[in-house]
C-alpha cells in the first residue's frame, strides 16, 4: 500500500530554499518518504533525483568522491550521519554546489545531536522529525476502530501496521531492536556492555508510565546510575524511547521526580493494556508537538505533573514555557480525574482533557473535556 505521509508537502516546500534533514526511528518510513519526494519533486526541465545510501559500499564511495551529475537536482543521502565527518562534509558540499543541487539527508539518529565536526550548519537546513503512524494519519480502507486496534497490538511502524499480524510483528520488533543496539548504537557510541544495554531496555519496557528510579535498576543490573542515565540518553538519541520529565514551575508543592519513559513503538511496551494506551497517548502528543516545533519554530515541551500530596496528571504540554494543555489517559474510567480538575484550576491551561480509550459518549464538566481517542487524537497535527 502506497501511503503519502504527513510531512511530504512540508519537506518538498523547504527543499526549494534549504537543505532538509529528516530524523526519526529506524524503519518508521523515512526512506520511503524520501523516495516519494524524489519521485514527485517539481524538477526543472531534464533534471532528476539521485538516491545514495551510506550503508551501501558503492554508494559510500560515490558520496566521498561527490560523484553525481549536474542533472541530479535533488540528491538524497540516507544514513549519512554514520560518516564521522558528515557535518563538515555536507556543509562544504552545500556551500560549493547549492546553485545546482538540493540535498535531503535522513538518519535513524537525532541529526541535531550528533554534531561531530567543526563549523555550524546554522541557517543552511531545516530539521524535521518523522514519527510512526498515528490516528492523525488516516489510511484508505482502514476504519478508525481497526486503526486503533492495530496501534494497540502491532504498533504504528508502517510494516507491522500494514501487515497486521501479531506473530510477525514480534519477529520484526525483535530484529529491529537488535539492529539498533548491535549496529546503529555501535556505529555512533563506544560501548562494550551490549548485553546489559539490552537488559536495561527490557527494564524500561516493563516500567512504561511509572517513574524510572535508577537506583532500583542499578541494583538489578549491577550498573551505575551514571551509566544508566547515559544509556537512556543514547536510547533517546536513537529514537527508541523518549523521556517525559516533571513540571515544577508555578507549583510550590511540586518535587523533583524521576522521568517517565515511553516508546516510539507502542508495541514495545511490556505491560498491561492501560500502560500501552498511556504510551499510545504519549506518542500522539509527542508527534504533535514535534510537528509544531519543526513547522512553526515555536517551543513546546511534554511534561508530567505531580506534587507532594501525590496529585498527578499524565501529561502537560508547554507552549513557550507556559501550560497549554493538560491530558490524562484512562482506559475505561470516564469519571473526571480529581488531579486533572485540581491542576486545571491551578495552572489554568487552555485545555484540560481526559482521553478514555473505551468511551461511549464524550462530555464536558466545568473546565474539563472527556474525549475518546477518536475525538482528540485523530485531529490534524495543529493546536
Q: How confident is the model at residue 250 (pLDDT cuts 50, 70, 90)?
A: low
For Cα atoms 263, 267, 273, give the angle at the middle one, nearest 5 degrees: 100
Name the residue with higher pLDDT: 237 or 183.
237
73-91 tens-digit pLDDT: 999 999 998 898 999 999 9
Cβ-Cβ contacts under 8 Å for 183 (sequence gap 6 or more): none
267-325 tens-digit pLDDT: 999 999 999 999 999 999 999 999 999 999 999 999 999 998 999 999 999 999 999 99
Name the residue with higher pLDDT: 186 or 23.
23
The helix/strand/coil state of 117 is: coil
For residues 152-172, give the mean pLDDT: 97
pLDDT, position 251: 65
pLDDT, position 191: 76
Is the predicted pLDDT of residue 355 greater than 70, yes or no? Answer: yes
Nearest CA to 275 out of 262, 256, 288 is that of: 262
124-145 tens-digit pLDDT: 999 999 999 999 999 999 999 9
Give the position of cell 504510551. Answer: 279
pLDDT, position 116: 45
For residues 100-113, give the mean pLDDT: 87
Domains and CATH numbers, the chain: 8-129 (3.40.50.300), 144-376 (no CATH)
Compute the distance between CA of residue 130 and CA of residue 269 in angstroms, rounded to an integer: 20
Q: Which regions of the chain does DSSP assign to beta strands (E)?
A: 19-23, 48-53, 72-78, 102-107, 125-129, 241-246, 260-263, 300-306, 312-319, 322-330, 351-356, 363-365, 368-371
Tell me the HSE value of 242 on the side-chain side, using a 13 A CA sphere: 24
Name the residue with higher pLDDT: 84 or 103.
103
Q: How confident is the model at residue 111 (pLDDT cuts 50, 70, 90)?
A: confident
Q: What pTM did the predictor assign? A: 0.94
> Are residues 221 and 195 in contact, defined by beta-carbon separation less than 8 angstroms?
no
Cell numbers found for residue 344:
486545571
201-238 tens-digit pLDDT: 999 999 999 999 999 999 999 999 999 999 999 999 99
Amino acid at each position: 500500500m502506497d501511503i503519502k505521509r504527513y510531512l511530504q508537502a512540508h519537506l518538498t516546500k523547504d527543499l526549494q530554499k534549504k537543505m532538509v534533514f529528516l530524523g526519526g526511528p529506524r524503519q518508521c518510513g523515512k526512506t520511503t518518504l524520501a523516495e516519494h519526494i524524489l519521485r514527485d519533486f517539481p524538477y526543472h526541465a531534464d533534471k532528476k533525483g539521485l538516491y545514495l545510501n551510506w550503508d551501501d559500499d558503492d554508494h559510500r564511495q560515490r558520496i566521498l568522491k561527490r560523484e553525481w551529475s549536474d542533472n541530479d537536482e535533488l540528491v538524497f543521502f540516507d544514513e549519512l550521519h554514520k560518516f564521522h565527518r558528515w557535518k563538515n562534509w555536507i556543509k562544504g558540499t552545500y556551500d560549493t554546489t547549492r546553485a545546482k543541487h538540493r540535498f535531503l539527508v535522513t538518519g535513524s539518529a537525532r541529526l541535531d545531536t550528533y554534531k561531530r565536526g567543526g563549523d555550524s550548519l546554522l541557517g543552511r537546513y531545516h530539521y524535521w522529525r518523522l514519527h510512526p503512524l498515528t490516528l492523525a494519519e488516516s489510511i484508505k480502507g482502514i476504519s478508525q476502530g481497526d486503526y486503533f486496534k492495530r496501534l494497540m497490538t502491532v504498533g504504528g511502524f508502517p510494516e507491522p501496521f500494514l501487515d497486521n499480524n501479531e506473530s510477525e510483528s514480534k519477529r520484526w520488533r525483535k530484529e529491529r531492536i537488535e539492529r539498533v543496539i548491535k549496529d546503529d548504537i555501535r556505529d555512533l557510541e563506544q560501548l562494550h556492555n551490549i548485553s546489559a544495554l539490552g537488559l536495561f531496555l527490557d527494564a524500561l519496557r516493563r516500567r512504561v508510565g511509572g517513574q524510572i528510579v535508577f537506583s532500583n535498576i542499578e541494583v538489578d543490573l549491577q550498573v551505575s546510575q551514571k551509566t544508566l542515565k547515559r544509556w537512556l540518553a543514547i536510547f533517546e538519541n536513537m529514537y527508541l524511547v523518549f523521556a517525559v520529565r516533571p513540571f515544577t514551575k508555578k507549583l510550590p508543592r511540586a518535587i523533583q521526580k524521576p522521568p517517565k519513559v515511553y516508546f516510539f513503538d507502542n508495541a514495545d511496551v511490556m505491560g498491561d493494556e492501560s500502560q500501552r494506551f498511556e504510551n499510545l497517548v504519549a506518542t500522539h502528543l509527542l508527534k504533535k508537538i514535534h510537528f509544531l516545533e519543526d513547522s512553526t519554530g515555536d517551543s513546546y515541551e511534554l511534561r508530567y505533573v505531580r506534587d507532594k500530596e501525590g496529585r498527578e496528571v499524565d501529561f502537560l504540554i508547554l507552549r513557550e514555557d507556559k501550560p497549554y494543555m493538560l491530558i490524562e489517559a484512562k482506559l475505561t474510567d470516564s469519571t473526571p480525574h480529581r488531579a486533572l480538575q485540581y491542576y486545571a484550576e491551578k495552572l489554568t491551561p487552555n485545555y484540560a482533557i481526559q482521553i478514555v480509550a473505551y468511551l461511549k459518549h464524550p462530555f464536558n464538566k466545568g473546565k474539563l473535556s472527556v474525549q475518546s481517542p477518536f475525538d482528540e487524537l485523530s485531529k490534524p497535527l495543529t493546536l
